A and B are shown apart, each in its own frame.
Chain A
């Protein structure tokens, strides 16, 4: 059995979406710990505190007040200590251009929000398991991209 824990952060301003995501993550058969934030600024304030244990993977909703997903992503990528953090953006947009721009700005994963809970669970499971490989094996994080 695996005893290591994958530390996950979820940043979303919509409470319903947060709890759906949370339920889906909890149903994945992996050791995970989850922290929730209501917007990008709250998360950035938290991770920039000195000595803070860093998560392995952060899910960012694209549309949020105060600091949206893209702004938050851009800021994460300017910080040296957050370089190894995998960033997953999720959105309802499936425009190729939006997706490419998100990757160019430094996202590792782009999730097109699924419309059923079953599909959401499946997508999250796939994301967590692939991210786990990047977290535990010698794979190049700089070129880690996944569109799902």
Chain B
């Protein structure tokens, strides 16, 4: 005997995509067919992993050179900021040019064209974000954080913190701790 099947290609595609995306263990949102959005951005490794997972089903990721380079710049900055062992005195421009293999002016113009900020400013945002987690999660003192992140002094760290957040590190810490306390009371 023969069975005759009917199928909806869109349902198959969406289901397949979801199954593979779930394997990445990262938050995503499917914005209609052919577009997936990742709230936190996607590292180059994750993109490679997803490319491999999808290729079995004949699904290809359309390459966008600019978006890819911007993501690589962000990944490299994250690595640079989190690296607490390396030499702190290298310049971001030298580091990125060496790591990505493009000239710094090229990287800088590509980055500001598509992110509404400059590489220099993004490094500051990222570094302050890291300082916050060192302060809250690792309970480091400002002196330790300044040293770890390669700031020349505590005053320099504090002033950059204030400039980026509008708050002093002390007030910031107080607010986050109070907020946690309130959440805990609300949950109990």
- A interface vs B, CB < 8 Å? 1-2, 30, 78, 84, 100, 103-106, 110, 128-130, 132-133, 135-140, 143, 145-148
Ordered by A's residue number, 17 sampled pairs between the chains whose C-beta atoms are within 8 Å are A1-B114, A100-B178, A103-B175, A103-B179, A104-B182, A105-B179, A105-B182, A129-B117, A133-B117, A133-B122, A133-B125, A136-B115, A137-B41, A137-B122, A143-B129, A143-B176, A147-B165
Contact status A2-B116, CB under 8 Å: yes
Q: Is the CB of A138 within 8 A of B41?
A: yes
Give the interface centre of A110, A128, A147 by most chain B CB atoms within 10 Å.
A147
Kindly identify which residue among A104, A106, A138, A148 contacts B78, using a CB–CB cutoff of 8 Å.
Answer: A138
Distance, CA A135 to CA B114, complexed state (A)? 13
- Chain B 22-62: CB-based contact to A (< 8 A → 1; otherwise 0): 00000000000000000111000000000000000000000
* CA–CA, A30 and B41, complex, Å: 19
Check B41 against A145 for contact (C-beta < 8 Å). no
Number of interface residues of B (CB under 8 A): 29
Nearest CB of A to B38, in Å:
9
If A100-B174, A136-B41 touch, whether A146 touches B165 (CB-CB below 8 Å) is: yes
Asked if B11 is at the interface (CB within 8 A of a chain A CB), the reply is no
B155 contacts the other chain (CB 8 A): no
Residues from chain B with Cβ under 8 Å of A104 in the complex: 175, 178-179, 182
| Distance between B83 CB and nearest chain A CB, rounded to angstroms | 16
Known: A104-B182, A106-B179. A30 touches B116 (CB 8 A): yes
A100 close to B39 (CB less than 8 A): no
CA–CA, A137 and B76, complex, Å = 13
- Kindly list chain B residues whose C-beta atoms are within 8 Å of the C-beta of A1: 113-114
Residues of chain B within 8 A of A137, CB atoms compared:
40-41, 74, 122, 126
Asked if A140 and B178 sit within 8 Å, CB to CB, the answer is no
Q: Is the CB of B175 within 8 A of A139?
A: no
Quick check: A147 and B166 within 8 Å, CB to CB? yes
In the bound complex, do residue A2 and residue B174 qualify as a contact, i.e. CB atoms below 8 Å apart? no
What residue of chain A has the Cβ atom nearest to residue B133's Cβ? A140
When distances are taken between beta carbons in the complex, the residues of chain A under 8 Å from B41 are 136-138
Chain B residues near A84: list those with CB within 8 A.
39
**Contact between B115 and A135 (Cβ–Cβ < 8 Å)?**
no
Distance between B162 CB and nearest chain A CB, rounded to angstroms: 9
What is the CB-to-nearest-CB distance from B112 to chain A, in angstroms, rounded to a whole number? 11
